Amino acid sequence: MTEPLFIYNTLTRTKEKFEPLHPPLVGMYVCGPTVYSDVHLGNCRTFVSFDLVYRYLCFLGYKVRYVRNITDAGHLEGDRDEGDDKFAKKAKLEQVEPMEIVQKYTLGFHEVMQLLNTRPPSIEPTATGHICEQIEMIKQILANGYAYEVNGTVYFDVEKYNQKYPYGLLTNRQLEDLIAGTRELGGQDEKKGRLDFALWIHAKPEHVMRWPSPWGWGFPGWHIECSAMSSKYLGDTFDIHGGGMDLQATHHTNEIAQSQACHQKAPVRYWMHTNMLTVNGTRMSKSAGNGFLPGELFTGAHPLLDKAYSPMTVRFFMLQSHYRSTLDFSNEALKASEKGFQRLMSTYALLENLRTGSSSSSNIKELEEKCYAAMNDDFNSPILLAHLFEGARIIQAVHAGSETISSEDLVTLKKFMKGFLFDVLGLRSEATLSNELMEGTVGLVLSLRKEAKDRKDFAQSDKIREELNKLHIEIKDSKDGTSWSINQ
Ligand code: AMP
Ligand code: ZN
């Protein structure tokens, strides 16, 4: 194992040495997508960031249970437990069942995650699949005295909670400041306190997604699913909880309150938050309407895009900034990423045929250590990439004959370049993939041509040659067989 890993903990606002509760096991929970619409590139940034965390922890030898939920119920349009249900509204618009909406956008999400080469989580629980667990948790919070029921809706009592535990811990805010920043209660409000939020919501007659509960027919509030599912799969206290920083002030603050009120333990040891993907400085979001869909990038079908960008270019673009920095989306930045990614990959391909000498011009071991040091410093992928580019520079210099490398160092260089590029950063060489496909396909066509020649069907074999020529594939027959090359 290398030097210790340090993680920036949002809760303490410091970088802390990572010490899991039950090593080598690590429990990690990440708030997943709300599947009433397509995920946009901003959502993807958060999931790619936690994929990096997951991959690096596994790379270090930890056995990670990675839980990422699917939010498929309980989201109302307003942020005050009122307004239309987002799933029902979309279902009405598309004239389908709400669960068809859930299915459609879950499948779309998985497809995008696969294209971006993120590893699937160990468990992907859904809110609708855990209604019983949510009800049980609400019952316990009520029994512990931190919630109250009004007309079939159960609210969390923030002021009562704050008498024992500091409510605004995650964002370092006092309750009075938080209250001052919220709208006053109106005459219609059932809540006792301005910051109180719903754990369970009474279903109006028109509400489709509804379940029976001790408080009548209803549905869970926005935050309870994550508390219920994280404790079910990872325990009352677990190692890492993540999400975008837009979730800190409300969703995660309320998650802490619910879990603490239920189990009387702090639920999470390391809170991690990713910064936002922005477009011209404005946060990319579904509601702002400035969301780029991954598919629009991969095909180039968006008025603001000059061209299409491959999934690995997009992943590389995201990894070029640290997860806690903002990342602004632009054609120029993507073009630069495309170039950088291709350069790194084509140089990596030279590694296989490098000649070794008796000694090395560069310190390869030190470069390897720097790669680990970058990742151990709160998953600093841009610094890691700078070191990998230094690795690429060395490869090129050795290839050109201006530097030398010993055979021992070449083994080290191959090992860590491969490990960090593919296992940790999760990149994959798109050129290699299509080359393999190309080799296979042309090989197949040439074997058909050989069969035609063997049965003296020269018309057919010439036709195959001509058709391949039209595709700029030139074939050469010699006494050793047939070879081919791309003629551009
Ligand atoms: P949602 O589907 O809206 O619940 O969001 C899924 C995840 O994406 C959450 O962790 C959000 O914090 C995160 N997210 C939303 N917008 C952005 C953005 N512009 N940049 C990065 N992450 C985001
Ligand atoms: Zn959540």
Q: In this structure, are strands 277-279 and 327-329 parallel, antiparallel, or unpaired?
A: parallel
Ligand 1 atom closest to the CA of 286, numbered from 1? 3
Tokens of 161: 């909670």
What Cα–Cα distance (Å) separates residue 265 from each residue in 136, 138, 231, 260?
A: 17, 16, 11, 5
Give every CB contact of residue 384 below 8 A, 6+ residues apart in sequence.
Answer: 371, 374, 375, 420, 424, 425
Closest ligand to Cα 244 = 1
Q: Say how far apart CA 196 and CA 250 lie, in whole Å.
A: 11
Ligand 1 atom nearest to CA at 33? 2
Quote the pLDDT of residue 431: 66
Which ligand has the minimum distance to the alpha carbon of residue 229? 2
pLDDT score recorded for residue 288: 81
- How remote is the CA of residue 43 from the centroid of ligand 1, in Å? 4
CA-wise closest residue to 227 among 195, 197, 189: 197
Task: Give the ligand whose atoms come closest to the C-alpha of residue 243.
Answer: 1
Helix (H, G, I), strand (E, B) or coil at 271: strand
**Ligand 1 center to 34 CA (angstroms):** 9
477 Cα: distance to centroid of ligand 1 (angstroms):
57
What is the maximum alpha-carbon separation in the chain? 93
For ligand 1, atom 15, the nearest C-alpha belongs to 43
Q: What pLDDT score was predicted for residue 180?
A: 85
- Tell me, what's the pLDDT at 433? 53
For the chain, how far is it from start to end, CA to CA, in angstroms? 48
d(CA 189, CA 193): 10
243 alpha carbon – ligand 2 mean position (Å): 7
Q: Which of 10, 90, 226, 246 is the best mutation target for the ligand 1 pocket, counting ligand atoms within 8 Å of the beta carbon and taking the most?
A: 246
Question: What is the number of the ligand closest to the CA of 226?
Answer: 2
Give the pLDDT of residue 390: 98
Residue nearest to atom 9 of ligand 1 (CA): 244
Instruction: With CA atoms as reference, report the closest residue to 156 among 172, 138, 131.
Output: 138
Structure tokens at 72: 């498929």
Q: Alpha-carbon distance 120 to 68, whole Å?
A: 9
Strands (E) located in 75-122 = none
Identify whether the C-beta of residue 354 lies closer than 8 Å to the C-beta of residue 373.
Answer: no
| Ligand 2 geometric centre to CA of 35 (Å) | 13
Tokens 């995008």 belong to residue: 112
Residue nearest to atom 12 of ligand 1 (CA): 244
CA of 188 to the centre of ligand 2 (A): 28
How far apart are alpha carbons 88 and 374 in whole angstroms?
Answer: 46
Write out residues with Cβ below 6 Å of ligand 1.
31, 33-34, 42-43, 45-46, 243-244, 246-247, 274, 276-277, 283-285
Chunked mean pLDDT (size 10), the chain, 488 residues: 89 98 98 94 97 98 98 73 77 89 96 97 97 98 98 97 96 91 81 95 90 96 96 98 97 98 98 95 86 91 89 98 95 95 94 94 97 98 98 96 97 98 95 65 84 89 85 81 73
Ligand 1 centroid to 183 CA: how many Å?
25
Give the span between the Cα atoms of 414 and 392, in whole angstroms: 11
Question: What is the per-residue pLDDT for 301?
Answer: 87
Determine the pLDDT at residue 1.
Answer: 46
